[in-house]
Structure 1
Amino acid sequence: MTSPETRPDIFDRTLRARRRDRMMPRFADHDFLYRLMRDELLDRLTDVQRDLPEALVIGCPDGSARAALEAMDKRVACVDPAFLAARGAGGVQGDEDALPFADNSFDLIIACGTLDSVNDLPGALILMRRVLRPDGLMLAAFAAAGSLSTLKAALLAAEGDRPAQHVHPQIDVRAAGDLLARAGFAMPVADGETLTIRYGDIVRLMHDLRHMGAGNVLASRPPALGRDTLMRAAAHFADAADPDGRTAEQMAILYLSGWKPDASQAAPARRGSARVSLAEALKAKPQT
């Protein structure tokens, strides 16, 4: 069996960092998915009845998550796969499956928008649990299975008998819940939502993906699309349009939460179940 040290990377780490750096100058014009995930994670955090004073933000393209946590009187560190993003948020560059922090360093981790392109997701989750202190909380959000279904169908049709993989492999809710439990998190929860975005043409969709850092960074990615293939894909994309001429695309967002085990907690859920309600897992405040 191939060991973790020799297993080939799924994603090109260097290209991933370079494309995240390249997105930075125009990210604010294409950050709607990041803002959606960030705001949802922060909203879920407000239901937690614990101080969690030391926080780590993983994925910090604009510094907004750090600012929001500091406004909650938390001390915040940031890490991002890209140099410019990390520097802009006053953080450090690093990959999620090789976090440069000691065990038991943080009470809270907010991981926003990057775990869909990390090479070793199980290893990243284990590391996040390790750098948390006992009874610390991890909240994460990233693109999941079901995303970009219209784009994938258009590219598949355009390439005919020799299709290539242009969209990253994606994880679903059930698999994510199992990974959380296997990584050792207590009270694991995996849930999601699907966002519909309507585009006038395929080029605008690709433009958004490029400037939010969501382009193809697979280590085995195919050559760039040729003009003829792109034109056929554009035609297939347009054929799926609604009567107003705009085509609906789907982005599925997966949300994860889990606590580092501590003796004060209730017994953890059975491995792979991940069906405890979010209100219970986050210990929501009672309604008044």
Structure 2
Amino acid sequence: MSDNAAREDSAHKEPVTLLGLGAMGTALADAWLTAGHPLTVWNRNPRRAEPFAARGATVAATAGEAVAAGRLVVLCLLDDDSVDEALDEADLTGRDLVNLTTGTPLRARDRAARAQARGARFLDGGIMAVPPMIGIPESGGYVFYSGSAAAFEDHRHTLAVPAGTRYVGEDPGFAALHDVALLSAMYGAFSGITHAFALIRREDIDPEGFAPLLVDWLTAMVPAAHTTAERLNSGDHASGVVSSLAMQVAGSATLVRTAEEQGVSTALLTPYLHLMERLLREGGHGEEDTARVIDLLVG
């Protein structure tokens, strides 16, 4: 849709207020404007708002003025403190706040309680996308939302314009928790990839030739997440075990020795291996799957 067509269609679209025009905020603003939503924007550095003013967006002079412009207020700022500061002097009565700023579950719950006390409904969001994926449905990007179910239902079509939506519950902290859980798994995978490339770094092995092997292997291993989830729900850690805890602990010594031989630090590898060894030492778990390691992390 062209900007002119979007402006003509704006009378039929829900107005959106957006606080924050960093890389992600800019992508969100572009998506809503392109889709024809009347948009009010505010940014600490007003220069970032100029391109959107040229496209018909209203630029608010203050965060409070922006919040006053409409019911749906989306925040995509630097951090939790930035959100608190932006909302400090604003009248939140009757507003639906949607916080897309990356934060923790505890801060989301606290912010939801404070928003409710000030007369607003609250949704927290975790964006599972990078800015180039925003506004492109086929990119697969989406946003976790949690908090007020009524607010989500009232705005779900508007919220779906930049990226897909996945509502994960009334607990305001659940969106951030889902977000961080997935990101934590990502960094775990990155650490394994980093260690694998370190092992071959000094050898006559082409990293680009090795990469497809690594991707195929990790892809084959990822479905283990489903098995882990089933074992956590059922409490059955022994049925259908293919590679037992005892077997994996015995085999892990080779991983450590190989790293030492290659002159590679085991810093990325040993934390998980040590947890498996600890579980084995507790006794009675040798023939089980390794899913019970999770209980060592959560006490």
TM-score interval, smaller chain? 0.3 to 0.5
Flag the structure with larger Rg.
2
TM (normalized to structure 2)?
0.33
Q: Which one has the bigger strand percentage?
A: 1
* Higher helix content, 1 or 2: 2
TM-score, normalised on structure 1?
0.34
